[in-house]
A and B are shown apart, each in its own frame.
Chain A
Amino acid sequence: MDSSPASLDFAVIGHQDSWHNIAAFVNCIRGAELEPLVVEKVKDIFSFIPPRDLFKVNVRSATGAEINGVYIETFIDPDKLLPQFTRTNIGKIIQAASLAKKMGANIVALGGFTSIMLEGNIDELSTNVTKFTTGNTLTAAYIVKSIEKAANNFGIDLQESSVLIIGATGDIGTACINYLAHKVNKLLLCARNHHRLQNVAANLVKQDIRVEYSTCVQDLAPKADVVICAASSSGIELVNCKQNVLICDAGYPKNLEEKIEDREGVFLFHGGMGQVTHGFNFNPDYSESIYRYAAPHIIHGCILEAMILAFEKKYENYSAGKGNITAHSMEDIYNLSVKHGINIAPFYNAGGLCQKTSVLKTLPQ
């Protein structure tokens, strides 16, 4: 039967973050002979659909190995990626996880918000056959490695820089702190929960790390040379940023460029993404409407982590819980990523690929 891969090395549980993309996908699968549905009609149906496998994925490694997996869409309403809808959304994620297990996936990536909503509590999802990972270790590794690369390109000395981390108490934000703590001049930490923020900062102070924190991003943004946004960009506004600030938008959805008051001199790129040098295929091929980026074969780090673990046959809950990601584990998964020809994605933003010297003026104003 052609309904499932010959062997299912991995599965990806994902969600969409814009109605525009969803409408494009729905109209793609409707086919050219049918009248396209307007977004409002798509909204009437989309979020009612139970989680299901949409397409198979074949990924090729630099080593010559190939793995086969499947993408499972949760059909979570992108307007409902908010705490008040957590119960409904978790129900969909658990259904999607059950499907991944039923399909016999060896390792499953909980992409984007699907791991955030479970707050990393994935151990109970696992079985002897199927393991789960949030993929946050590789996402965080791609973020910090791309910051290092961009800083190098722009002649920014990180050791002299103040780095603002938005979403500092989250799993990815904490991982970035762990990696950068001893590599930058000062950490500026922002998160919504003051108490947690205070605890994170106190631990850093004990290690003689210079740190400043606030629940208000406007307090910290004007002091930052580098900004990592590892949180949902809803509610975030970046005003009075320094000239030549370097910004990595690694949140969901990646639309921070819309939240920046003065774009002159800003270099912003979408972070946490990787590029598969030897490529991948979708079957059916929905690449014209889903996973469309400024360059070919770009995927989220969280998804790539599961693929790399599958290449390595390292079937374990690699990224689980919250706050467990170490600089060491980030280096480990990053090195495995490079081994398989999966590198940090080229710099891009909503305006397309960034030139080495370009700033945010590449974006549509």
Chain B
Amino acid sequence: MQAIKDATYTIEEFNVISDVFSQAITGELIGMSNFASLAETINDPHEKMEAVEHANSERMHAEGFLAYAKKAGLNININMQGAYWGNVRTQFLSYARKKDFIACLIIQEVILESFAVSMYTDVGDSLGGEAGHLFHSIAEEEKEHLDHSSDLLRAELKKDPVAFINKFEEIHFNCMTILAEFTATNDLRGHCGVCHGDCMKGSLHHIGLDTITLRGNALALYAQAMDNIGIPGEKSIVWIARLPA
């Protein structure tokens, strides 16, 4: 394995990269847990196995991030019960308990994967080197999840457009509101419980990133994902506009 370019991190870079990896690992573990819970909601044995495979895929992503973090000596903090990740998980579980496969799919494979793909891509572009490559390759795999879900959800939309759009709207406000608060310029629900010390958002410039662009690109990908599924633009723009900012 090639030497880590990142050994030359400044203290500011080290701190913010540690927080970035902490967030990514926590997010992947949430994804892993969600897919495992999703498997519970599925009756079809093949789809059940696929959900477990996806859970394993998220586990592998977490392992990948953890391996890099260990090699680079990053300071990792994992917290799945924090103000944002914990609430996302709670929302997911509330639908999983009702065996609402479609709702689970929307949360995990549209909302969370849109943010993961977009943010991993931006972070990968910014970090470069081995860390950047790792983020890019995982973003590619997450994108497959996003594309896979779009096909299923398009079919679901066709079956009963009104019911589907109503369901999507409810999930959007239950779940995307949490992510919007999480990614706002200032944490709207307080500290996330993952970052060390102060929120990393104020330090992202040390690695060439900023909160507005990260959040904007993530919302853009989420909007595109809704377009791909067939949610009318006149609906999705209202949903996005009504998010906390």
Q: Which residues of A contact B (CB under 8 A)?
A: 1-4, 26, 29-31, 34, 37, 41, 44-45, 47-50, 52-56, 72-73, 99, 284
Indicate if the CB atoms of A45 and B234 lie closer than 8 Å.
Answer: no
Report which residue of A1, A41, A52, A72 has the largest number of chain B beta carbons within 10 angstroms of its beta carbon. A52
Indicate if the CB atoms of B237 and A3 lie closer than 8 Å.
Answer: no
CB distance from A324 to the nearest CB of B (A): 32
CB distance from A244 to the nearest CB of B (A): 46
- B143-173: CB near A (< 8 Å → 1, else 0) gives 0000000000000000001100100000000
Indicate if the CB atoms of B161 and A44 lie closer than 8 Å.
Answer: no
CB distance from A337 to the nearest CB of B (A): 28
CB-contact partner of B237 in A29, A37, A41, under 8 A: A29
Indicate if the CB atoms of B223 and A26 lie closer than 8 Å.
Answer: no
Indicate if the CB atoms of B232 and A31 lie closer than 8 Å.
Answer: no
Report which residue of B165, B227, B236 has the largest number of chain A beta carbons within 10 angstroms of its beta carbon. B227
Indicate if the CB atoms of B234 and A3 lie closer than 8 Å.
Answer: yes
Indicate if the CB atoms of B242 and A53 lie closer than 8 Å.
Answer: no
Indicate if the CB atoms of B240 and A49 lie closer than 8 Å.
Answer: yes
Report which residue of B162, B223, B232, B233 has the largest number of chain A beta carbons within 10 angstroms of its beta carbon. B233
CB distance from A42 to the nearest CB of B (A): 8
CA A290 to CA B36, docked complex, whole Å? 47
Secondary structure type dominating chain A contacts: mixed
Give the contact stretch, choosing among B72-80, B96-104, B133-141, B212-220.
Answer: B212-220
Indicate if the CB atoms of A44 and B245 lie closer than 8 Å.
Answer: yes
CA A55 to CA B233, docked complex, whole Å? 9
Question: Counting CB contacts under 8 A, is B238 at the interface?
Answer: yes
Q: Which residues of B contact A (CB under 8 A)?
A: 161-162, 165, 185, 212, 215-217, 219-220, 223-224, 227, 230, 232-238, 240-242, 245
CB distance from B167 to the nearest CB of A (A): 14
Indicate if the CB atoms of B216 and A44 lie closer than 8 Å.
Answer: yes
Given contacts A41-B245, A50-B220, A53-B234, contact A1 B240 (CB under 8 A): no
Indicate if the CB atoms of B240 and A45 lie closer than 8 Å.
Answer: yes
Indicate if the CB atoms of A49 and B245 lie closer than 8 Å.
Answer: no
Indicate if the CB atoms of A52 and B219 lie closer than 8 Å.
Answer: no
Given contacts A41-B245, A45-B245, A48-B219, contact A53 B240 (CB under 8 A): no
What are 18 A-B pairs at a CB distance below 8 A?
A1-B161, A2-B162, A3-B230, A3-B235, A4-B232, A29-B238, A30-B241, A30-B242, A34-B242, A48-B217, A48-B219, A49-B223, A50-B227, A52-B223, A55-B234, A72-B233, A99-B227, A284-B234
Indicate if the CB atoms of B236 and A29 lie closer than 8 Å.
Answer: no
Beyond A4-B232, A47-B216, 4 additional pairs, beta carbon < 8 A: A29-B242, A34-B242, A37-B245, A284-B234
Q: Find chain A residues with CB under 8 A from B236 CB.
A: 52
Q: Find chain B residues with CB under 8 A from A1 CB.
A: 161-162
Indicate if the CB atoms of A49 and B237 lie closer than 8 Å.
Answer: yes
Indicate if the CB atoms of A44 and B212 lie closer than 8 Å.
Answer: yes
Indicate if the CB atoms of A52 and B234 lie closer than 8 Å.
Answer: yes
